[in-house]
Amino acid sequence: MMTVPLATGARLLGIHPKTLHHWLYEANLPLLPHPTDARIKCVGHEHLLEVANRHGRPLPDLAEAPASTEEHMRPLLGNVLEPDRSTAALPTPSPTEAEVLQKLISLETKIGTLQEQLSQLALALLQEREQRNGQRGDDRAAMQEVLSSRGRPLHPADQRARTRVTALVEYGSQGRYLLLSPQEGELELIPDSPEWFDWLASLTSFRFVGKSGRFSAYREYRARGQTRSWTACRYFHHHTHKHYMGLTDHLTIDCLEQAAALLQAQILAR
């Protein structure tokens, strides 16, 4: 049986495709699949003729019927997908003065954006420096509180606050490193000396404020418990930067300064 798409049959009868579908349903006439595309519903020529006779609609000869929309679109799609080779072979015109001026304006805009980003970065660095100075002040205040409590019984709240204070190694304005212990106050220890390493071995964590940066140092833990390995940590803008420093015997001042500089460089590179 010869078939035509449902939309084409409706166009031949001069009605809407939904109307044709309704007429076929009333006459118990089925829709047929398209021979090549299952998505297209078709109607047999005999069924279309029967529906046309029932409703008094003239049905032109299918040989004289206009081509479907798909057939009309094929040559157009071919022209779009296959551009004229003669046009593609034409040489690319050189940029005009207006185009060059437009590119210069675009570059100036990008430069302005970069300058603004640099300003924001400088502001962030200043804020980070202020926070660091504020943290130093907090550490000194906490340490002063610990020192002032020596020689008198501690209140339970003071005792809890004292246990939260972390040892501090800070490079001072006089060109030497200040060592502060929560239990003993300022220590008269020479960095990199045997007493220095003995003191570090007694700690579980400490804060370091050096010439190029700062960090908090923590002992690493394994399944068997605490180890002699140390890691430097720096928290900045919701991101934690870490650097493994080695065993306690390796924690010289140069090692601590290198770790602080490395973490500072990682923060600036983000």
What is the Cβ-side half-sphere exposure of residue 111, based on CA atoms within 13 angstroms? 6
**pLDDT tens digits, residue range 125-181?**
766 766 666 555 555 555 555 555 555 554 554 454 445 568 999 998 788 899 998
Asked whether the beta carbons of 202 and 184 are under 8 A apart, the reply is no
Single-letter amino acid code for the residue at 167: A
- Banded model confidence at residue 193, pLDDT cuts 50, 70, 90: very high
Look at residue 106 and give its three-state secondary structure: helix
Q: Which residue ranges make up each domain of the chain? A: 3-81, 138-269
What per-residue confidence (pLDDT) applies to 75?
A: 44
Look at residue 170 and give its three-state secondary structure: strand
Strands 205-209 and 214-222: antiparallel
Percent of the chain having pLDDT more than 70? Answer: 71
As a whole number of angstroms, the distance between CA 42 and CA 168 comes to 86
The helix (run of H) or strand (run of E) holding residue 221 is strand 214-222
Asked whether the beta carbons of 52 and 58 are under 8 A apart, the reply is yes
Mean of per-residue pLDDT scores for the chain? 77
**pLDDT tens digits, residue range 29-66?**
888 888 888 888 888 888 888 888 888 888 776 655 54
Look at residue 81 and give its three-state secondary structure: helix
As a whole number of angstroms, the distance between CA 223 and CA 246 comes to 18
Answer whether residue 249 shows pLDDT above 80: yes
Q: Which of 3-12, 85-94, 137-146, 193-202 has the highest mean pLDDT?
A: 193-202
> How much is the pTM?
0.42
Q: Which CATH architecture has domain 3-81?
A: Orthogonal Bundle (1.10)
**What's the first-to-final CA gap in the chain, in angstroms?**
72
What per-residue confidence (pLDDT) applies to 164?
A: 55
What per-residue confidence (pLDDT) applies to 257?
A: 95
Answer whether residue 261 shows pLDDT above 60: yes
